[in-house]
Each structure stands twice: as structure tokens, then as C-alpha cells.
Amino acid sequence: MRTQDEIITEVLVRLSVSTTNAYYTDTIMRNWYMQSNQWSSAYKKWPMTEGRVSTTFASLVTSEDGYLKGEYPEGWKADSIRLLTIAGKQVDKKNFYEFRKFIEDNSGSDERIFSDYNQSYYINPSIDLSGTVTAWGQYTPLVDITDENELTPFSNAQPDGNEAIVNEMLSYAHTREKDANAAMLYHQRATQILDNIWEKVKNEQFAYGPTDGEGMWQRIDVINGGFRDDLFNRDQF
């Protein structure tokens, strides 16, 4: 099962019904497919729903607070921009309230920092960069129910995820049939499949190693713990 049409057909086969049945029309099945697809896509921060979007520095606007402001791409999850670059240079992400405090206390600083709030991201207005702004983050894929050959986020990367979509659709069917026990059983099967996929993803990510600059060569305070650079910063006093 890879496409929308194949997934819907599989659900109908398991239910032993056809779309001529008033309970299982094409419209109903496609709506269930859309809901199940969106639910499973949003269940975890899957590698296959990671995205990259670019815009121009000139497209940013100045917010009423004086920050450079850009809007999250359509369909992206809240607070999900993990990496932002301008002209290929990384801009560090900060907590929004710490970001505001820093700008307030360090007017004119060209520190390369940004933060996000309510589906917008904010950049230090005095930043010393310009050019292409590129964001890496997480999105929820849009579902086109008119495209029978549309693939799910799992089709090419984790095909067993489509089995979770089938089981979630079956839970909707049994809910419609007022069979709460069967509906819960199929929903639990769907979540179990997705949890198993997530365990595989985490096992693969566990192999990621740090670069030389990520703590390996930093001075450590052996008495108080932590990195020395974290314990003493220029704005501490």
C-alpha cells in the first residue's frame, strides 16, 4: 500500500464493504483518509516531515517592537524552526523572553540571534547579515484527497506507517458502527505501529556523533559541573 487509492481499497476490503454502501461513500472514505493521514503525520516529529524553506532578507518586515519579522511557512508546526541561516551563516535560536531581554539590554548589538512566537520568527534588527533566509523545521503535509495516486509521508521512508493509517481509518469505521471496543482496538494498533516506527527512528538517530566543537574541547568546571563558558558569560554581572 503506497497511494491514497490503495489504502482506501485496503480498508474497504477489511470491512468487506464497497463505496455503494451509504456508510462508506467515496466522500466519507477520502475524509477518513485525510484525517488519519494528518493524525499519523503529526503523531511524532518524523524525519520525513522535515522541511527547508528559503526567502529573501528583503521580505522580512519590521515588527511594532522593532524586530525583523518573518512568518512561519504554511503548514509548519509551531516553534519548529530548528535552524535558521542568513546568507549561509547560522543564526542562534533563543527563548523568546530571553531574546527580548537581550535586545532591550544590548541595543545596537549585532548578535546573530532569533526567536519565534505565535507562528512568526523574530531576528535581531541589528544583525550583521543579509541575503537569503533559510529555515529548517517540521511541517504537517497537506493532503490532496482529489489525487488518488498521492503518496503518504511514510510511503517511501517507512511503508509500515501506512498500516497505521489503515488501522486508524478502521477505528473511524467502527466508531460509526457504534462499536467502541473495536474502534479502540484499531486505534491502539495504529498508535503501536507508529510508536514502533519511532523507536526505529530514535535508534538510528542515536548513532549521530558530536562535532569537535560541541563540548569535546570546551573547558569543564569539574567542581560545579557544566561547561565553563556556560557558567561565566559576558552579561552575568
Report the C-alpha gap between 219 and 182 in whole angstroms: 58
* 231: three-class secondary structure by DSSP: helix
40-55 residues labelled b (16+ CB within 10 A) or e (exposed) = bbebeebeebebeeee
Those residues with Cβ within 8 angstroms of residue 15's Cβ, 6 or more apart along the chain or in another chain = 24, 170, 173
How would you class 57 by CB atoms within 10 Å of its CB: exposed for 0-12, middle for 13-18, buried for 19 or more?
middle
Task: Quote the pLDDT of residue 158.
Answer: 93
Q: pTM score, two decimals?
A: 0.78
* 133: three-class secondary structure by DSSP: strand
CA dihedral 166, 169, 174, 175 (to 10 degrees): 150
Q: What are the sequence ranges of the domains in the chain?
A: 4-46+153-205, 50-139
Straight-line distance from the first to the last Cα atom of the chain, in angstroms, rounded to the nearest whole number = 61
CA 12, 156, 26: angle at the middle one, nearest 5? 25
Phi and psi angles of residue 152, each rounded to the nearest 5 degrees, phi first: -90, 170
Task: Quote the pLDDT of residue 122.
Answer: 96
Q: What is the pLDDT along the chain (237 residues), one digit of tens a residue?
A: 999 999 999 999 999 988 777 789 999 999 999 999 999 999 999 999 999 999 999 999 999 999 999 999 888 988 999 999 999 999 999 999 999 999 999 988 999 999 999 999 999 999 999 999 999 999 988 899 999 999 999 999 999 999 999 999 999 999 999 999 999 999 999 999 999 999 999 888 776 766 665 544 444 444 454 444 444 444 443
Task: Quote the pLDDT of residue 229.
Answer: 47
Report the C-alpha gap between 190 and 136 in whole angstroms: 28
Q: Cell 532578507 maps to which residue? A: 57
